[in-house]
């Protein structure tokens, strides 16, 4: 199966999503959100953005502006599971950089300031590791999110347990 083609939302599904939101306030935002959600790799390929542009009669530059402005949108394939490490000042001073390095070590990737990427997806598309500027939970730093579950006062042990929890679920499937 061609991986690229399997990540492009079908014309029928895209038409249904566009029709549901067309003409309503926020139609572009809600269309992009839903289209990304139905994509198996949770991202918006160029072809999909172009199709949305045509179907909503919105310039492609405007579609890209929205897709790149909001951190929720992904322009590259995402893993089935997400690990997000806060890099805000409070989290940084309490060890989030070490947690990020540890996650990188687990998944064989080196996060450093010279990397242009703010995220890494494992080759098997199982995990995406990202950073955020702040979760807004500074009093409980360092903070991470694993599959949308927030963990506070995280140390190496908590981090490893959260990752192992996902891996245990995966082996049961």
What does the radius of gyration of the chain's CA atoms come to, in whole angstroms?
A: 18
Other CB atoms within 10 A of residue 52 CB? 24
Contact 91, 138 (CB under 8 A): yes
Q: Over range 151-166, report the average pLDDT.
A: 92
Closest of 82, 83, 5 to residue 39, by C-alpha: 5
The span from the CA of 67 to the CA of 64, in Å, is 5
Residue 60 in contact with residue 19, Cβ under 8 Å?
Answer: no
More confident residue, 139 or 110: 139
pTM for this prediction = 0.74
Phi, psi of 57 (to 5 degrees): 55, 45
- C-alpha 95/C-alpha 100 separation (Å) is 9
- 73 is written with which tokens? 């949108």
Give the residue extent of every domain in the chain.
3-69, 81-172
What is the reported pLDDT for 70?
Answer: 87
Look at residue 2 in the predicted model and tell me its pLDDT: 43
pLDDT in tens, 51-65: 999 999 999 999 999
Residue the block writes with tokens 């981090």: 159
Residue 85: partners with Cβ closer than 8 Å, 6 or more residues away: 91, 96, 99, 100, 103, 129, 130, 131, 132, 142, 144
Query: What mean pLDDT value characterizes the chain?
Result: 88
Q: Which residues contact 16 (CB under 8 A, 6 or more apart)?
A: none
The 10s digit of each residue's pLDDT in 22-54 is 999 999 999 999 999 999 999 999 999 999 999
Percent of the chain topping pLDDT 90: 64
Q: Under CATH, to which class is 81-172 assigned?
A: alpha beta
33: closest CA among 64, 67, 80? 67
């Amino acid at each position: 199966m061609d991986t690229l083609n399997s990540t492009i939302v079908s014309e029928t599904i895209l038409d249904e999503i566009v029709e549901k939101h067309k003409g309503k306030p926020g139609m572009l935002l809600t269309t992009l959100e839903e289209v990304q959600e139905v994509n198996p790799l949770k991202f918006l390929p160029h072809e999909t953005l172009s199709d949305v542009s045509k179907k909503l009669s919105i310039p492609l530059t405007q579609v890209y502006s929205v897709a790149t402005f909001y951190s929720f949108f992904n322009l590259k394939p995402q893993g089935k599971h997400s690990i997000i490490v806060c890099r805000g000042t409070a989290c940084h001073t309490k060890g989030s950089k070490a947690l990020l390095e540890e996650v990188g070590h687990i998944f064989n990737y080196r996060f450093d300031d010279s990397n242009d990427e703010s995220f890494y997806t494992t080759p098997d598309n199982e995990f995406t590791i990202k950073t955020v500027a702040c979760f807004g939970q500074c009093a409980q730093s360092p903070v991470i999110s694993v599959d949308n579950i927030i963990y506070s006062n995280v140390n190496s042990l908590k981090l490893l347990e959260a990752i192992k929890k996902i891996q245990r679920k995966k082996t049961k499937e």
